[in-house]
Structure 1
Amino acid sequence: MITDYKKHDLYGKTLIQKIELAPPFKFEFPITQQACFLYVKEGEAEYQIDGEEIEVTANYSLLLNCMNSGKQVRNSKSNSNCEIVIVTFYPEILKKIYERELPKLLQKPKNAISNKSSEKINSDFLIQKYIEGLLFYFKNPSLISEDILVLKLKEIILLLSQTQNSESIQLILSQLFSPAAYTFKQVIEANLFSQLTIEELAQQNNLSVSSFKREFAKIYRDTPANYIKMKKLEKAAELLQVSDKRITEIAFACGFNDLANFTKSFTSRYNVSPTNYRQQLNNSQQL
């Protein structure tokens, strides 16, 4: 359960977020076409990738690439609250703030042979101090400016380049600008919230529609239409909880091109309309 949520935007996109969660919790953070640095300030969280469960405790962090949309951090074991800070990397913003040349960390490594998608980053004193600086601005939002956000974005890039994980981090972040040859599953997850048709998704994987559906069923044990629809609704439920966006904006952000269809699908899935779902959440947090 989310007990507190704050964010700051840069050039119209969410750059940094602070989320406080009470266990048991599940926080889904779709990041299609982006990457993010997720830092656990207090408590602990779990993240699963390729069947492996990664535990991230206080002062440790994760770097996740743009192929991880729909992933989530969760905790059903601990009794303590969790506080996480997320910095999101958008290729268009990075290109804008580094006008002349991207730093080495964002450039494709020579002899790169991996499309690595996540890296757990060990506790680092300088990164801890960086997070403390971000928390200061969350406590004093009136001091935030566009220039400060640009500086904080450049600062985390510099700090990540100096960690012992820098080679793996470069592999991940460089994919924002030089995409690797992605697997079937990565292509699906990258386009979960797009407007692509089943035919277009099949083309993305160089498969016929029939072959695509067989491969999809083998991996996800579901039909493409049903699986993608459920993921879109899960994302919508998350956005209704953590954002103040209008219902129409959320519907389009989650890949629905018709508000009536979204409302009907959401009500069928959660047994309550999007509007009432948000109201129930607000009421429960006020108790």
Structure 2
Amino acid sequence: MLNVYDLKLSHPDVFKQFSVGENLIVHYKCPQAEKLVELYNHFNAIYFTLSGKKSLNYRAKSWHLTDDEALLVTRGAYTQELFENMDWEVLAFHFNDDFLKKIYREYLLNFKIESDLNLPDDQILTIQINPIIKSSFYSLLSYFQGKDAPSEYLLELKITELLINILADPQNKAIRAYFNFVDGQHKRPIRHIMERNFMYHLSLPEFAKLAQRSITAFKNDFKKYYKTTPGKWLMEKRLTYAKHLLETSDKNVTEIAFDSGFQNVSHFSKSFKKAFAISPSQLRKKEQRDF
């Protein structure tokens, strides 16, 4: 799968960018040519649409981004959908967990935090925009229009201002809940990465990167928690998820195979029949008859 952060970092000619340490501020018109692409990001990202439209999808849900709308896309995988004959001009900010924790702790010094912050189920969260937040985004955009690059110190101040303004808006409770969760973790739990991303066709090195671990550490931590190997767990989880989709959705077998993390329909069908003693197409016909 395409790593969004790595792609932008390696193509500064397409993605105009400033860096603050490892964190990136990027201004670009999306070069996506295919209707649908699968992406993942081992950094958190905020997308603010300047013009155009784009759809980001996670599991069965979609978030449409149009002018002056913003999303927080937390670390993980998702699909991005192209709208025909419509460009997407965007201001994006990619930031790691350490920067997130730094901002959140500064926020805590100045604002009262709710006691009922529960981690959202979705990896994509809508940011409610008020005039102050909108102004913060456009003030960052202005640096891309100047001749000289601003200092990292100044950019960090502007990003800090933006994020604290987002956190301070009462409507952005889900954003505060996510920051609160990350702040409370020394390292992301394996389950947080796996349970939210198993249905995407990520390789083990990509899962390890999302979990911010080496391959060896990832496998060791995985086995401690799940008492099995990543390969066995992923196969069982994806097949169980596919069975659920066959029983509850109107999607065809090919769509369900891809939505469950399989890239080869024939391999999916053989694995499914071995696990459940019935083929996906037979189960679909049975469900239709029972209905």
Q: TM-score, normalised by structure 2?
A: 0.61
- Between the aligned partners of 2:207 and 2:183, the Cα distance in structure 1 is 17
C-alpha contact 2:51 2:67 (8 A) present in aligned 1: yes
Q: 1:199 to 1:15 in 2, by over 3 A?
A: closer
Residue 191 of structure 1 is aligned with which of 194, 197, 207? 207
C-alpha contact 2:44 2:73 (8 A) present in aligned 1: yes
Q: 1:170 to 1:134 in 2, by over 3 A?
A: same
C-alpha contact 2:54 2:81 (8 A) present in aligned 1: yes
2:78 corresponds to: 71
What is the CA deviation profile of residues 131-158 of structure 1, one whole-angstrom value per residue up to 9, with x for unaligned ones? 2211211122514102111111211122
- Between the aligned partners of 2:193 and 2:134, the Cα distance in structure 1 is 34
C-alpha contact 1:39 1:61 (8 A) present in aligned 2: yes
CA RMSD of aligned residues (A): 3.7
Q: Which amino acid aligns with 2:78?
A: K
Total equivalences in the alignment: 218
2:51 corresponds to: 42
Tell me the secondary structure at the aligned position of residue 50 of structure 2. Answer: strand
What is the CA deviation profile of residues 106-152 of structure 1, one whole-angstrom value per residue up to 9, with x for unaligned ones? 99852333344332124432222222211211122514102111111
Deviation of 1:170 after TM superposition, in Å, equals 0.5
Q: 1:135 to 1:22 in 2, by over 3 A?
A: same
- Between the aligned partners of 1:136 and 1:52, the Cα distance in structure 2 is 33
- Between the aligned partners of 2:40 and 2:55, the Cα distance in structure 1 is 16
- Between the aligned partners of 1:62 and 1:207, the Cα distance in structure 2 is 36
2:115 corresponds to: 110
Q: Which amino acid aligns with 1:214?
A: E
Deviation of 1:202 after TM superposition, in Å, equals 4.1
Does 2:19 align with 1:5? Answer: no
- Identify unmatched segments of 5+ residues in structure 1: 228-287
Q: 1:4 to 1:107 in 2, by over 3 A?
A: farther
Deviation of 1:90 after TM superposition, in Å, equals 2.0
- Between the aligned partners of 2:23 and 2:140, the Cα distance in structure 1 is 14
2:277 corresponds to: none
Q: 1:200 to 1:226 in 2, by over 3 A?
A: farther
- Between the aligned partners of 1:106 and 1:73, the Cα distance in structure 2 is 35
Q: 1:10 to 1:28 in 2, by over 3 A?
A: farther
Q: TM-score, normalised by structure 1?
A: 0.62
1:218 corresponds to: 240
Rg larger in structure: 2
Residue 86 of structure 1 is aligned with which of 85, 88, 92? 92
1:182 corresponds to: 192
Q: Where in structure 2 are the equivalents of 1:122-271 lying within 5 Å?
A: 122-140=128-146, 142-179=148-185, 182=192, 184-186=194-196, 188=198, 191=207, 193=209, 195-196=214-215, 199-200=219-220, 202-203=222-223, 205-209=225-229, 210-219=232-241, 221=257
- Identify unmatched segments of 5+ residues in structure 2: 1-10, 243-256, 264-291
1:256 corresponds to: none
Does 2:67 align with 1:58? Answer: yes
C-alpha contact 2:103 2:163 (8 A) present in aligned 1: no
- Between the aligned partners of 1:108 and 1:161, the Cα distance in structure 2 is 10
Q: Which amino acid aligns with 2:69?
A: Y
Percentage of identical aligned residues: 14
Q: 1:130 to 1:225 in 2, by over 3 A?
A: closer
Deviation of 1:23 after TM superposition, in Å, equals 6.3
